[in-house]
Structure 1
Amino acid sequence: MKYDLKKILIVHLGGMGDVLLSGPAIRALRIAYPSAEISMLVTSKVVPVVENMRLADKMFVFDMCYGGVVPLAKVFRNVKAILELRRMRFDAAINMRTLVSCAGAMKVAFLLGIIRPKIRAGRDTEKRGWFFTLKASEGDLGTKYEADLDIETVGLLGAEAADKRPFLDIPQKDTEYIDAKFMELGIAGDDLLVVIHIGGMYSRRWPIENFAGLINRLNAGFSCKVMVLAGPGEKGLLERLSRLAAGGYITPDTDLDFCQLAALIKRSGLFISNDTGPMHVAAILKTPQVAIFGPGDLTRFDPRNISERAVVAIKKSPCAPCNKEKCSDMECLKALSVEDVFGAAEGLLRSR
């Protein structure tokens, strides 16, 4: 059923990968309501991703601080954004994320209570979405791919996705930037480049000493060049790696923005990463990849759903999946050995 909607708000406070997987659903909403003004409320770290999609008319930033206190300046910016959204008088607001806890559900309810849209749509995770007027039922454990759940959610407003494939666009200027960066770093066009991203949410990071061992095994087993990346605020991981690995890898000398990162991943012969945003970029671009999974919900976020060139390295653990941001024992990731991940990488490299 479609509604008379002139102003729609999408509340999406997820990370890079979450927003990328929502792309088909947001596109379906745009097609269903071509004349509506669509606004998005997102975290600051995904602004470049939303800009790349080119589907939102307006974008508002809500600063999150996971596991800590939000600085006062950001609190004021958040309040200003919410009050501006209230003044816009939306016909509908749709929350695109799972309600992982009662506390999280109360925060979304409070947020929508201030904004006051006429229709409140979202996922009724384990009946926590009592405040939604239109609800899509789901459980804590995933039974479907995340992109399909997002499509079901916008379906509450009558939107249908003809194309369910996540997407991103790499501007030519960013491809040229990476070409120039490769020349600076001595990477030739016929070099086999293995890119390893060692960052991500703390609870989803494979041990850094294992990455060091993996780099040594790759250099010993293949004539390749290894490049190591980390995300914003993760330079400490690179410093730790430099003390553990016996050289044999390079790192960019500057931070990469979203489109530059995508261009680099597209040029890679193999991409290896934790369960994090760049993993989904590699899957969308069909770059051969090894995705290292620990506590993440594989059913929801398995890159093999959209890429036949993805391999998942995972060991079953009685405590996984979980939503912990930090973990004291990291049992699920420590169970994965260097040889487990190297074996997955070796299979992809030898099939080239």
Structure 2
Amino acid sequence: MKFHETDIKKIAIFRALQLGDMLCIIPAMRALRYAYPTAHITLFGLPWAKSFTDRFSSYFDDFVHFPGFPGLPEQPFNAAETVKFLTGVQGRYDLLLQMQGNGTVINPMMELFGAAHTGGFYTPDDFVANTETFLPYPDYGPEPQRHVLLMEHLGIPEKGLALEFPVTAQDEDDLAALQLPLQKGKYVCIHPGSRGAWRQWPTENFAALADYCAEQGYQPVITGTGPEVPIVEEVISKMKSEAINSAGKTNLGAMGVLIKNSRLLVSNCTGVSHMASAFQTPSVVISMDGEPERWGPVNAQLHRTINWLQTPDFNLVKKELVELMRK
């Protein structure tokens, strides 16, 4: 390793993004924790990610809310809060890893943290503190693999590319409390929402696949967050069969149990697709962002990712679903 274990007591990870993005760094975090088993690892992230670090407590020891920075679109920038944040973290960490992206906006800011050592990704024409610890951004391959490559650049051996999503007894209880009439393995999850409307497959297509699943004897469960209730209701209104509407009723943990116990998942390329990958629940994922190789699940046999921008063919999507149903 480029840094000896005895020299690295406190590590900070910078990744202020959403659920799917966070799940994709778990293979890298697994390798990092194995290399530095006694280090105190902190995540700098968006407010929601406190629950993420609680769930992945085997990899993270602490969470600090990052309040924003000019050029980062995930949350509004508050200058006073950012100055307060930088003052609070100044000089506290032995190693700070930039795992946000290619580093064009982030890397100069990273130097303001005052960490003893920094590492991460960079692009050749932009600022980089140390090419020994920063890796030219690998603009290829699945997202989890890109972060594992960073670990290998730091001399940290890979510990597999499998995703994880731990579920707890409380998660099981939260789902059971909803009293949904479901039998394990006898229902399918249809998740039509996403954080951006431009990433959402047409609702009539989701409805048609849900009806097909019902014809095969599986109960369709249309899932979603609270803000996605209108989309879910639109899908149900276009279905011929009866569906269970769980939108806005499940927290993240209960949603995990729901996906874990389902026969399969049909979704846009969002966080739930990575949850299905973690549980090895078969899935059909429709990619609307043009980067299926990056964001689609790694196991192409268990998870079928369709690049809708390249091949906008409903029959192709249904064919993938039929094949998964038959296996």
Q: TM-score range by the shorter chain?
A: 0.7 to 0.9
Task: Give the structure 1 partner of residue 19 of structure 2.
Answer: 16
Structure 1 residues 79 and 199, CA, compared in 2 at 3 Å: closer, same or farther?
farther
Describe how 1:193-272 pairs up with structure 2 within 5 A.
193-202=187-196, 203-219=198-214, 221-246=215-240, 248-252=242-246, 254-272=248-266
Q: What is the RMSD computed on CA atoms of the aligned residues?
A: 2.8
For 1:44-82, what per-residue CA distance to the aligned partner results, in whole angstroms no more than 9, with x for missing partners?
23332322111222211225698687276xx65554333
Give deviations 1:142-186, integer Å, cap 9, x for gaps: 2x22222212213343322334422221112322433453xx232
**What SS does structure 2 have at the residue aligned with 1:155?**
helix
2:151 maps to 1:150: no
Taking every aligned residue pair, what percent have the same amino acid on both sides? 23
- 2:306 aligned partner: 313
Q: Give, as a single letter, the amino acid of the residue that structure 1 aligns with 2:114.
A: R
Q: Give the superposition deviation at 1:98.
A: 2.1
Give secondary structure in 1 for the equivalent of 2:227: coil
Partner of 1:105: 104
- How many Å separate the matches in 2 of 1:205 and 1:64? 27
Contact 2:53/2:60 (<8 A) preserved: yes
2:317 paired residue number: 341
- Structure 2: tracts of 5 or more residues without a match: none
Alpha carbons of structure 1 residues 160 and 230: separation in structure 2 relative to 1, 3 Å: same
1:177 aligned counterpart, secondary structure: helix
Give, as a single letter, the amino acid of the residue that structure 2 aligns with 1:146.
Answer: E
Runs (4+) of structure 1 exceeding 4 A deviation are 63-69, 75-79
Q: 1:238 to 1:23 in 2, by over 3 A?
A: same
Which has the larger helix fraction?
1
Query: 2:158 — aligned with what?
Result: 161
Structure 1 distance, partners of 2:127, 2:195, is: 26
Deviation at 1:22, TM superposition (A): 1.1
Distance 2:52 2:154 in 1: 24
Equivalent residue, structure 1, for 2:115: 117
Alignment of 1:37-116 (within 5 A): 37-54=40-57, 55-63=59-67, 70=76, 77-86=81-90, 88-99=91-102, 105-106=104-105, 108-116=106-114
Unpaired stretches in structure 1, ≥5 consecutive residues: 318-331
Q: What code does the residue aligned with 1:186 have?
A: P
Q: 1:231 to 1:8 in 2, by over 3 A?
A: same
- How many residue pairs were aligned? 319
Of the three residues 165, 170, 175, the one matched with 1:173 is 170
When residues 64 and 185 of structure 1 are mapped into structure 2, their CA distance, relative to the original with a 3 A threshold, is: farther
Per the alignment, residue 296 of structure 2 pairs with 302
Comparing 12-21 and 282-291, the one that deviates more: 12-21
